[in-house]
A and B are shown apart, each in its own frame.
Chain A
Amino acid sequence: MMKKSFAVSICIILILLLVVGCGQQTPANTENASEGNEVTLTLFHRWPNEPFKGYFDGVIQEFEKQNPGVKIKVVTALNEEYKQKINVVLGNDNSPDIYFTWVGEYANKFVRGGKALDLTKYVEEDKAWSDQIIPSTLKPFTLDNKVYGVPVLMDVRMMAYNKEIFNQLGLEPPSTWNEFIQVLDKLKASGAIPLGFGNKEPWNGGLYITTLNQRLVSADVLAKDNNRETGEFTDPGYVVALQKLQQLIPYVNENPNAFSREEERNMFANGKIAMMPLHTIEFPYIKDAKFEWGTFNFPSIEEGKGDPSVITGAPEGFMISAQTKHPDEAVKFLKFLTSKPMAEKWVKETNVISTVKGAVNSSNSTPLMVETIGQVEKASDMAIWIDTILDGRIFNPYLAGIQQLLNGEKTPEQIMQEVQEAAKQVKESAK
Chain B
Amino acid sequence: MKLTVETGRNPYVAAKQKRRRSLGSMIVISLTFLLLSALFLAIAYPLLWMVINSFKTTEEIFSNSWALPVQWLFSNYAEAWNKGVSKYFLNSVFVTAVTVFLTLLFSVLSAYGLTRYSFRGKYLVLALLSAGIMFSPQVSLIPLYKMVQALGIHDTHWALILPYVAFRTSLIVLLVRSFFLSIPKELVEAAYMDGCTGIGILFRIYLPLSMPILFTSGLLTAYWAWNEFLFAVIFIDSDSLKTITSGLLAFRDAMYTDWAVLMAGLVISAIPLVLLFIFMQKSFIRGLAEGGVKG
Contact = CB atoms under 8 A, between A and B. Distances in A.
Nearest to A270: B63
A49 B253 contact: yes
Interface stretch (B39-47, B122-130, B229-237): B229-237
Contacts of A28: 152
B141 A84 contact: yes
A12 interface: yes
B94 interface: no
B136 to A, nearest CB: 14
Contact of B255 (A4, A270, A281): A281
B290 interface: no
A92 B145 contact: yes
B63 A266 contact: yes
A25 B234 CA distance: 20
A65 to B, nearest CB: 20
B199 interface: yes
A66 interface: no
B109 A91 contact: no
B197 A1 contact: yes
A282 B253 contact: no
Interface residues of B, number: 42
B255 A23 contact: no
Contacts of A75: 237
B198 interface: yes
Nearest to B157: A23
A259 B293 CA distance: 54
B252 interface: yes
Contact of A91 (B63, B83, B142, B229): B142
B152 to A, nearest CB: 4
A266 B247 CA distance: 26
A50 B145 CA distance: 28
Nearest to A81: B233
B152 A266 contact: no
B233 A5 contact: no
A76 interface: yes
A9 B156 contact: no
A76 B236 CA distance: 10
A285 interface: yes
Contact of B199 (A4, A23, A74): A4
B253 A79 contact: yes
A88 B142 contact: yes
Contacts of B282: none
Given A1-B197, A2-B198, A23 B158 contact: yes
Contacts of B158: 19-20, 22-23
A288 interface: yes
B51 interface: no
A263 interface: yes
A32 interface: no
B66 to A, nearest CB: 15
Nearest to A2: B198
B179 interface: no
B52 interface: no
B272 interface: no
A318 B257 CA distance: 24
Given A22-B158, A270-B63, A4 B197 contact: yes
B255 A261 contact: yes
Nearest to B246: A81
Contacts of B249: 48, 77-78, 81
Interface string B151-180: 111111011001000000000000000000
Given A22-B158, A23-B156, A88-B234, A285 B255 contact: yes
A269 B59 CA distance: 10
Contacts of A4: 197-200
B162 A5 contact: no
A48 B142 CA distance: 23
A88 B255 contact: no
Contact of A262 (B62, B199, B237): B62
Contacts of B250: 48-49, 53, 76, 78
Given A49-B253, A84-B233, A266-B63, A27 B156 contact: yes
B12 interface: no
Contacts of B81: none
19 contacts: A5-B199, A22-B158, A23-B152, A25-B152, A26-B152, A27-B154, A27-B156, A48-B250, A50-B83, A53-B250, A73-B237, A74-B239, A76-B250, A81-B233, A81-B246, A262-B62, A262-B257, A266-B59, A285-B256
